[in-house]
Structure 1
Amino acid sequence: MKVDLKQTTENQAEIFAQTRINLASRALGGDVLSCSDDFFAEKDNLLLASEPVFLPEKFTAYGKWMDGWESRRRRDGKNDWVVIRLAVMGDVEALEVDTRHFKGNAPGAVQLEYIASETDPDEKTRWQPLAERTEVQSDFRNLINFDKPVRASHIRLTMIPDGGIARLRVYGDIPLESQNRLPGEPVDTAAIMNGGRSVACSDSFFSSMQNLLLPGRGTDMHDGWETRRRRQGGHDWMIVRLSVPTQIKRIEVDTLHFKGNYPDSCTIEACQSPDEQPDENTQWVTVLPEQKLHAHRNHTFLKQLENARQLYTHVRLNIFPDGGVSRLRVIGYEANQL
């Protein structure tokens, strides 16, 4: 597997975090299975959703407290490793090895391997190379791009030789697996777990736009999509790429936890586009005319839908004028189900 070794910037890593699905996310079901050593800082910290922090005065019985995974100093010529189970079998596009706050104790390089398996690895597992030795910077969001997506279920990251990593994020896509549904069963093609993805929005100041498509209902206001308060007129919007072309039958807009900052109303438009993100010439069609929204409530729209006989690849949620939405669900049928 060829790796893009060009120096990335913090901004490039943040763009991936905002526009790609983190297949290792705990909110989706990712987990840390095992590691060679986590003497100074526990391996489970690698998948925390929060940004890593540094507390200068905080120490433990083992040494300096660090917000990440940190091993002992190796003296035997071997390397430390950790095994991650992804939330689902997905197409991996890039990995972020975040070493923020690890300034004198980050690894000099990493090596990445993968498997595509329905079962967890054991000592007999034959790992496949994903990226050979790749140098990483300390105190930096290192983004490692691959020349083509790789279908994977588990990732093994090896530090060369030891040290600390704050977070590991595995960016990619989730394919829509039809065999997991009964014939003719409608599906939420906007859901991250079914391969949907938020591709653009007007603003995501308070929380990531990808939160809108997470499973289940939100746990709090941060577990949703929330914009700034608008002072210059206009309204906020988000574009979602559906996992497959969809004939829309039901839409749900959930404002759970948004009690004093929910949008006053919303509309939903849809389009057909071959691109990941539709351009300015795209013709949008209204599928849900303006609807009044309420605080802390899941709104279901069926009879209100218009132009719902076509197949659409993208939807655009418009909120007026601004505010927060916990979840969006776009439920319907893909082309081969009609």
Structure 2
Amino acid sequence: MTDFTRLPDLASRALGGAVVAANDEFFAARENLVLPEPAVERTEFGHKGKEYDGWETRRRRTPGHDWAIVRLGAPGIVGGIVVDTAFFSGNYPPHASLDGAAIEGHCSVDELTKADWQPLLALHDLAGNTHNHFPVFSDRRVTHVRLNIHPDGGVARLRVHGTALPDPRLVDAGPFDLAALENGGLVTGVSNEFYGRPSQLIAPGLARSMGEGWETARRRDSANDWVEVQLACEGVVTLLELDTSYFLGNAPGTAALTGSGPAGEVPLLPRTRLQPDTRHRFVLEGAPGVDRVRLDVYPDGGMARLRLWGRPTPAGRAALGRRWFDALPDVQALEVLGSVGVPPQEAGRLVGARPLGADLPPQVARLLDGPA
């Protein structure tokens, strides 16, 4: 994917992202950085001066720079960032950089500031009142990012676009949504997205309005609309949910779901009638493993959510586990191996030998390839 902005915003509050710390937020609150909606212009003045829809620090009178730390809603591999300085014209930072860290577990803010931060984006110039786009070239999975602004100023929004990469240890706990954005699902193709983005189909939670789903333009031909989703890993879907909530006069009349995987293309749900404003659930029995699905809606219309509950196949779980482990920064990879009882010297050897082969200690094989 060449346009990194087509990748999900891993930092968005809509995905569970949060600004957990900042060294200064005198003029405008740090939490605004990850709000999903675009920044708006404000004209009012408060006790501290003109108000802005963003994060703004005071004028720095000492050496150094300001920073804000964001916990990603979905840990993953960053493909690019947007530093949006909308409406900050005389008070934007002239330069910015970005660091990433991979944290094991749930740490305090104090522990987070002492984490092993690694550069994701070197210091770059910024323009005011502009969406500043920067590709990021990294193959490491991160759980947090730190935006550094030099020396001070205001930023409206930070978008951290990338590919979610779930922790396979959580996947092993039970059935999960193979299509969910937060689990690594990704929209790879769509026929039409005139009114609503297809990525919202696999967003967390329930839609709160028609605007939080996928909706196509009205068709005037004999074809139909569709969307394709790459799953978190190859898996067996056992429960399908097609949610048309809030779509009353514009829900599809019927829909079908087709999967593709090692067995080729397979029908998962035949063309089935849908109702407006309804969460439809279908139990799928005897379905083979698939790693992609195509949802066809007839002839057009809107859908709030697509859920594909199931379990990874053995091959899918192993591929996910190894992709996850290979993407861990060295420090977290050592912590992970230590948590399953691998001695430090052996852990160091394994981390340095990535990608690993098939001859592994039993506890490492279970970690990477899943329970036998």
If the length of structure 1 is used for normalisation, what is the TM-score? 0.84
Of 201, 209, 219, the residue aligned with 2:208 is 219
2:135 is the alignment partner of 1:145: yes
Match of 2:300 in 1: 322
2:83 is the alignment partner of 1:97: yes
2:282 is the alignment partner of 1:313: no
Match of 2:72 in 1: 86
Q: 1:233–1:53: structure 2 CA closer, same or farther, 3 Å change rule?
A: farther
1:174–1:195 Cα contact (<8 Å) kept? yes
Q: Which runs of 5+ in 1 are unaligned?
A: 1-11, 274-282
Q: 1:199 deviation in Å?
A: 1.8
Of 25, 48, 67, the residue aligned with 2:35 is 48
Match of 1:65 in 2: 51
Letter in 2 for 1:286: P
Q: 1:290 deviation in Å?
A: 0.8
Q: 1:250 deviation in Å?
A: 2.3
Q: 1:70 deviation in Å?
A: 1.5
2:77–2:138 Cα contact (<8 Å) kept? no
1:93–1:150 Cα contact (<8 Å) kept? no
2:98 is the alignment partner of 1:112: yes
Letter in 2 for 1:329: R
Of 272, 283, 296, the residue aligned with 1:291 is 272
2:120 is the alignment partner of 1:133: no
If the length of structure 2 is used for normalisation, what is the TM-score? 0.77
Of 152, 155, 179, the residue aligned with 1:190 is 179
Match of 1:276 in 2: none
- Deviation by residue 1:286-323 (Cα, 9 ceiling, x = unmatched): 321111111111111225x7xx5432221111111222
Of 53, 76, 85, the residue aligned with 2:62 is 76
Q: 1:77 deviation in Å?
A: 2.8
Distance in 1 between the 2:137 and 2:185 partners? 22
1:115–1:155 Cα contact (<8 Å) kept? yes
Q: 1:327–1:251: structure 2 CA closer, same or farther, 3 Å change rule?
A: same
Q: 1:237 deviation in Å?
A: 1.2
Q: 1:160 deviation in Å?
A: 0.7
Match of 1:178 in 2: 168
Q: 1:175–1:126: structure 2 CA closer, same or farther, 3 Å change rule?
A: closer
Distance in 2 between the 1:149 and 1:324 partners? 35
2:313 is the alignment partner of 1:335: yes
Distance in 1 between the 2:194 and 2:119 partners? 38
Distance in 2 between the 1:186 and 1:213 partners? 16
2:199 is the alignment partner of 1:210: yes
Q: Which has the higher helix share?
A: 2
Q: 1:49 deviation in Å?
A: 0.7
Higher relative contact order (CA 8 A, sep 6+): 1
Distance in 2 between the 1:43 and 1:186 partners? 36
Q: 1:233–1:104: structure 2 CA closer, same or farther, 3 Å change rule?
A: farther
* Deviant stretches of 4+, over 4 Å: none
How many equivalent pairs are there? 310
Letter in 2 for 1:287: L
- Deviation by residue 1:183-213 (Cα, 9 ceiling, x = unmatched): 6x43321011221111221222222211111
Distance in 1 between the 2:22 and 2:165 partners? 28
Letter in 1 for 2:65: N
2:40 is the alignment partner of 1:28: no
Letter in 1 for 2:4: F
Secondary structure of the equivalent of 1:212? Answer: helix
Secondary structure of the equivalent of 1:260? Answer: coil
1:258–1:325 Cα contact (<8 Å) kept? yes
Secondary structure of the equivalent of 2:187? Answer: strand
Q: 1:116 deviation in Å?
A: 0.8
- Deviation by residue 1:150-177 (Cα, 9 ceiling, x = unmatched): 2111111111111111111112222233
Q: 1:270–1:126: structure 2 CA closer, same or farther, 3 Å change rule?
A: closer
2:159 is the alignment partner of 1:169: yes
Written as runs of structure 1 = structure 2, the 5 A alignment for 1:198-277 is 198-272=187-261
1:85–1:120 Cα contact (<8 Å) kept? no
Distance in 1 between the 2:305 and 2:56 partners? 35
Q: 1:20 deviation in Å?
A: 1.2
Q: Which runs of 5+ in 2 are unaligned?
A: 318-371
